[in-house]
Amino acid sequence: MVVDRLRTDLLNKLINARIDLAAYLQLRKAKGYMSVSESDTLRDNFFELNRELHDHALRQGLHLDQEEWNALRRA
């Protein structure tokens, strides 16, 4: 139960990260550039998410099926 909730939470965070990246790219295309702080914020958020995924995978022995691994790769 806890692992299922954790898995769902992590996949939702990946979806949100993908939405953030799409918004960033759309804004960059519209403006033609992005500020350093905007780029840094996005980078920091992705590194934090990566750390969290890695930590939970090691700590919980998170086992994902093929569909979930594909979702991780696409994100």
| Tens digits of residue pLDDT in 50-61 | 888 778 766 666
Q: Which domain holds residue 66?
A: 2-74
Tokens of 70: 């594909």
In total, how many domains does the chain have?
Answer: 1
Tokens of 1: 């139960």
Task: Tell me the pLDDT band of 64, cut-offs 50, 70 and 90.
Answer: low
Claim: this prediction has a pTM higher than 0.85: no
Average the pLDDT over 18-30 and give the result. 88
DSSP per residue, the chain: -HHHHHHHHHHHHHHHHHHHHHHHHHHHHHHS---HHHHHHHHHHHHHHHHHHHHHHHHHT----HHHHHHHHH-
